Structure 1
């Protein structure tokens, strides 16, 4: 059985590959632990100059694994701060080296909000990006309640959150969520080329530039605040109804 998260360091670029294509790269807690480890390695290893996120299969990520969600929600555990997902989010907030993403197919939930922490994003022009947190009776995460409105504006961000409807790669590029929108078969090569270019720049200058552009402590504080809202919703009757409706392929009925 293949590892669900693969890493490879080559010429200063640490490539992290989501490798669960049979599940549309839905992310489990074990995968979050691997992603946190890779992101922390990127920050602390001098051999790493750029972190590149990509995925195998026809989707970047279907978001969080719904089975994990249901299990955590039914246990009443919610989003605890020492869970692997928070280790990954904290690593993202404090990452002071450039991150690049290569996105094909679906990018759902964390598949979209992860991109807000990337400094360069390449999307397929027919990719579909969505953040259906409200559709699952949840709340935004990964500091997206701050970062998404900063990128696309309040009204567009609210529509993405509240309606949960996907936007395609061309729209994502037009709205500022991506640097490039290219045909699907060119995504990986384009992202790798951009990562290689950045890796060739002065590393300390790049790090200082990124640090000046981001407030890591503010992002991490907001992630924890969002986590409280997210966690309280996960164990709510609304969320249980939304999860069951999702698995039963029906519309949820909220009281």
Structure 2
């Protein structure tokens, strides 16, 4: 388990909190393992009716921790058993509603996670981006398929090809979010 992922089950809601605010909630392999464990638990536990992803600090997630991500390629063993792949598979296999409460930046996997959620509430001033082109990386977790399905080919192409951010109001207008509210109302909503 990672000290940067906290979980709490209350009233059927398993809240999963990104708690690495000093690094803008950039996700490490240890965090992915904790996210995989939490998501697998949500599916298997009848007491869990919904899973809620939220964050501490001023960013939902800055995406992958790049230094940690680079070390992944130098790690021996079966990549499929690594935390990142376990989490993405668990998320794709989840048969319960997933909700995200987004404040601040949602970058890369931070936005990709939203594509796997059933309900997304964003701050009006949140900034969402998939800057894979800027990093010379390929999009992950079927995001190139899911983003186009959610917002249309042209808008998805714009996000992927330019790597520019859109705000929460635009995310709502384009269909990436169910609601856009002031930042101080995201969690309550």
TM-score of the alignment, normalized to the shorter chain, above 0.5: yes
- 1:230-241 superposed matches below 5 A: none
2:87 & 2:172 partners in 1: Cα distance? 26
Hey, what's the Cα distance between the residues in 2 that align with 1:189 and 1:148? Answer: 26
> How far is 1:10 from its partner?
0.4
The reply on whether 1:26 has 2:19 as its aligned counterpart is: no
Q: Which structure shows the higher helix fraction? A: 1
Q: Which aligned pairs between 1:32-181 and structure 2 lie closer than 5 A?
A: 32-73=32-73, 75=74, 80-181=79-180
Q: What is the alpha-carbon distance in structure 1 between the residues aligned to residue 121 and residue 14 of structure 2? A: 17
The one-character-per-residue Cα deviations of 1:113-167 (angstroms, maximum 9, x if unpaired) are 0000100000000000000111100101111111100001011101111111000
Which structure: larger Rg?
1
Aligned to 1:237: none
| TM-score, L = length of structure 1 | 0.71
Cα displacement (A) at 1:184: 0.2
What is the TM-score with the length of structure 2 in the denominator? Answer: 0.95
Aligned twin of 1:9? 9
* In 2: Cα distance, 1:104 partner to 1:29 partner: 23
Structure 1 distance, partners of 2:119, 2:158, is 24
Where 1:189 maps in the other structure, the secondary structure is coil
* Residue 71 of structure 1: how far off its partner (Å): 2.4
Higher strand share: 2
Q: Report the CA distance shift for 1:159/1:76 in structure 2 as closer, same or farther (over 3 A).
A: farther
Cα distance in 1 for residues equivalent to 2:143 and 2:115: 7
Which whole-Å CA distance do the structure 2 matches of 1:72 and 1:89 have between them?
16
Give the CA deviation at 1:76.
Answer: 8.2
**Tell me, which stretches of 5 or more residues in structure 2 are unaligned?**
none
Q: CA offset at residue 84 of structure 1?
A: 0.9
Using the TM superposition, give the Cα deviation of residue 3 of structure 1 relative to its aligned residue in structure 2, in angstroms.
Answer: 1.6
1:214-255 alpha-carbon deviations (Å, 9 max, x no partner): xxxxxxxxxxxxxxxxxxxxxxxxxxxxxxxxxxxxxxxxxx
The Cα shift of 1:178 comes to 0.3
